[in-house]
Amino acid sequence: MMGQLLASQFFYNWRRNLSAIAGSAIILVCVLIVLFGPLVSPQNPYDLTQLNLLDSYKPPAWIEGGDPRYLLGTDGQGRDVLSSILYGTRVSALIGIAAMLMACTIGTTLGLLAGFYGGRLDAFIMRVADIQLSFPSMLIALFLMSAFGTGIDKVLIALTLVGWVVYARTVRGSTLGEIQKEYVQAARVAGLRDAKIIRRHVLPNVLTPLIVIATVQVGTFILIEASLSFLGVGVPITQPSLGLLIKNGFDVLFSGLWWTSVFPGLMIMAMVFGINLFGDFLRDELNPRLK
């Protein structure tokens, strides 16, 4: 009942909010690209047999010298930029989402433990969080990647290590509030196992603020991953994300071959902008206090 009511109010506000609709639309398009990108892509940019070096550095189709087969032009290997973007968006978005899920899971777990048990565990986790928070995420990620070496798995680990802190802090705070409440005290007195109390009574009540954090973090992660890949310490060249596409385009930018870097950049911007628009809406909806 309550959920339905909230959902309908939520939906009502969503319909009246132009930027929320725009954000959702962008996110939807990105999800479609992630799911079906390879199916609609004109070319498989990883399949060397489909590439033709004679078609290298074709400008976008609407510019003189453009080729209608390559809507957004081609790169130095004759790779279709549009196809690269469709594949690259997939890599970027999946890294962002997967890293967010990992960071959220680990951060929430640690936050619950710290808040529920307190004591040394709490002190230790929060100390680590404090120190980590005094450094910019980008720098920590860069440093971790320099130690790990390139690879999607390593990017995921680095982003997780960077991102867990916000969840741990938030969850710990709300857990502390939650365990003061009578029903949790009662459950404890009744001899319910800790794991059960946490899962049944604490966890559901501390999740709401995480929704906004998680949403916006996907965008942040996409940007950090792009930066890492741009610096050459992110994804490997065999699985280029949008950031790596931009890096490859950077090398030829000075020759005026702008399309290999402009379009992937626009794609990142659109994706993260959509996520942030939607995140702003969520923040207003879920924290009415901040309106």
List residues near other proteins by CB under 8 A: 19, 127, 131, 134-136, 138-139, 142-144, 146-147, 219, 223, 226-227, 230-233, 243, 246, 249-250, 253-254, 256, 258, 261-262, 265, 268-269, 272-273, 275-277, 280
The nearest distance, CB 268 to other proteins, in angstroms, is 5
> Which C-beta is closer to other proteins: that of 112 or that of 129?
129
> Which C-beta is closer to other proteins: that of 178 or that of 225?
225
> Which C-beta is closer to other proteins: that of 202 or that of 268?
268
The nearest distance, CB 274 to other proteins, in angstroms, is 8
59: tokens are 């400008």
The nearest distance, CB 11 to other proteins, in angstroms, is 19
Selection from 59, 86, 80 nearest residue 259 by Cα = 59
The nearest distance, CB 134 to other proteins, in angstroms, is 5
> Which C-beta is closer to other proteins: that of 63 or that of 231?
231
> Which C-beta is closer to other proteins: that of 89 or that of 261?
261
> Which C-beta is closer to other proteins: that of 37 or that of 234?
234
* CA-to-CA separations, 10 to 5, 6, 184, 247, 253, in angstroms, rounded: 8, 6, 29, 41, 45
290 burial level (CB within 10 Å; 0-12, 13-18, 19+): exposed
As a whole number of angstroms, the distance between CA 226 and CA 89 comes to 11
Selection from 30, 51, 50 nearest residue 272 by Cα = 30
The nearest distance, CB 233 to other proteins, in angstroms, is 7
Residue with tokens 């997967």, as numbered in its chain: 98
The nearest distance, CB 47 to other proteins, in angstroms, is 27
As a whole number of angstroms, the distance between CA 107 and CA 170 comes to 9
The nearest distance, CB 262 to other proteins, in angstroms, is 7
> Which C-beta is closer to other proteins: that of 236 or that of 265?
265
